[in-house]
Amino acid sequence: MVKKHLSRIYMGMIFIFLYAPIAVLAVFSFNESKSRGNWTGFSLKWYVELFQDVDIRSAFYYTISIALISAIVSTILGTIAAIGINSMKGKTKSIMLNINYLPVVNPDIVTGISLMILYISFNIDFGFKTMLISHIVFNTPYVILSILPKLKQMDVNMTEAAMDLGATPMYALRKVIIPEIKPGIVTGFLMAFTLSIDDFIISYFTKGEGVTNLSIVIYSMARRGVRPTINALSTIMLTVVLLLMILINKRSSGAEKATNKRKEA
């Protein structure tokens, strides 16, 4: 019994250590004063000042635009790639899976520098295009990993039965395969969108003049001195990412329950 209480206290201390700084940041984003250690009253003026900043608005536009476009493209490419990998056999499938794992386990700084060198080698001007391509490259493997488990759970006989009944491969893909793996596709899209919003390192090495995202703006603002608007911006980003992660987890758990019900039936 004592051991159980000690383990709970230990876990509580770890969570406090990890999340207390984030909680303090969020609370002081509503502080009327610039002070980071003295609460003088509740105020939303730092949020108002934040959205009056031209650089912040520009970074917000590029962040959302790149995240949305890269998530859509990554989801399409990842879905096609996942279906192709799932249909492979033996060593070919193993090799393709390992190739897909490489960008996931590879440090972001290596990926960022590699892409930067690639763009320089082909004389590609840095800007919106390079950052967008980089995010697509970065997100696609995560989409594939989100969809592959759903493909493995799917009954192969369903597709074969549809083909036997006269369905073309494309019709079977649209009416049988896609609906079955839809939870994985949605989860992959949300994950790609979240990762794109949160990315700093790859964006830093592939950005161009006049094109930046919120992570880079926060880094630039912090170098000039921490202002209360940084607290407000960080709180907004934290809230968006947190909501997306909750949505991803809910969809994953809901899809798992639906799969278990189908198996029981």
Strand (E) positions, 174-265? none
The pLDDT of residue 192 is 92
CB 202 within 8 A of CB 108: yes
The pLDDT of residue 1 is 67
| Segments making up each domain of the chain, as ranges | 1-43, 53-264
The pLDDT of residue 81 is 93
What residue has token string 């249909």? Answer: 87
Low-confidence ranges of the chain (pLDDT < 50): none
Nearest to 228 by CA among 25, 22, 3: 25
β-pair partners for 42: 31
At the second CATH level, the architecture of 53-264 is: Orthogonal Bundle (1.10)
- CA distance readout (Å), 259 to 9, 181, 189, 248, 252: 36, 11, 20, 16, 11
CB 162 within 8 A of CB 176: yes
The pLDDT of residue 257 is 65
Report DSSP letters for 61-129, one per residue.
Answer: HHHHHHHHHHHHHHHHHHHHHHHHHHH--HHHHHHHHHHHHHHHHS-HHHHHHHHHHHHHHTTPPPSHH
pTM over 0.85: no
Q: What is the rounded CA–CA span in Å between residue 50 and residue 138?
A: 29
